[in-house]
Structure formats: C-alpha cells, structure tokens
Amino acid sequence: MLVKYFAYIRDYTGGKEIQIEHYNSLRALLNELCKKYGAKFESKVFSGENLSDEIIILINGRNIVHLEGLDTKLQVEDVISIFPVVAGG
C-alpha cells in the first residue's frame, strides 16, 4: 500500500509518502501510522475514536465519507492520501 501525505501533514511524517505493509481496514492503518509518527500526528488524525474534522482521507481518489469511513476495507494495491482541511477565501 502507498500512503501519501499532503501540506503540513508532511511536517509530522517527515516525508511525502511511504510504502507500508497491508492493513485490513483504514482504522488499523491509521492506528499503526499514529504509533509510527506520534502524538502530534495522532491529534490531527483522530478526535477520540473518530476521524478528526481537520483531515480528509482519500482511498484511490475517493473520499472515505462516501465509502465506509474508518471501517473501509483496504486492498494491497490501494493508494491512501491524507490531506489537512484547508480554508481559504
């Protein structure tokens, strides 16, 4: 699986992307990434047990809001993109 990071999320991960072993669900993958990158990353990704309002996650270009959210099943070939919510005007 390929996980891509965008904007200031890269500050927490130290890079643009990572090739990582397969995880069965998005929640399992994110939990592992939180262990890898620490509390600052976790605080941007999670709000309690739920996805933070500060983050948008796409799986193969589809927003997880339109899939099964954190319970979305993952495949080995999936590309997961993690974006911060950006406001502008």
Residue 33 forms part of a structural domain: yes
Query: How far is Cα 59 from Cα 82, in angstroms, rounded to an integer?
Result: 9
| pLDDT for the residue numbered 15 | 97
Residue 73 forms part of a structural domain: yes
Q: What is the pLDDT along the chain (89 residues), one digit of tens a residue?
A: 999 999 999 999 999 999 999 999 999 999 999 999 999 999 999 999 999 999 999 999 999 999 999 999 999 999 999 999 986 55
Residue 7 forms part of a structural domain: yes
| pLDDT for the residue numbered 28 | 97
Query: How far is Cα 68 from Cα 36, in angstroms, rounded to an integer?
Result: 24
Instruction: Return the closest-CA partner of residue 66 out of 58, 78, 54, 77.
Output: 58
Residue 67 forms part of a structural domain: yes
With beta carbons less than 8 A apart as the criterion, state whether 73 and 80 touch.
Answer: no
Residue that is written with structure tokens 């999936």 in the block: 78
83 has which bridge partners?
A: 56
CATH of the domain at 38: 3.10.20.30
CB neighbours (10 Å) of residue 82?
23
Residue 36 forms part of a structural domain: yes
| pLDDT for the residue numbered 89 | 55
| pLDDT for the residue numbered 86 | 80
Split into its structural domains, the chain has a count of: 1
Residue 89 forms part of a structural domain: no
Task: Name the token pair of 38.
Answer: 């620490």
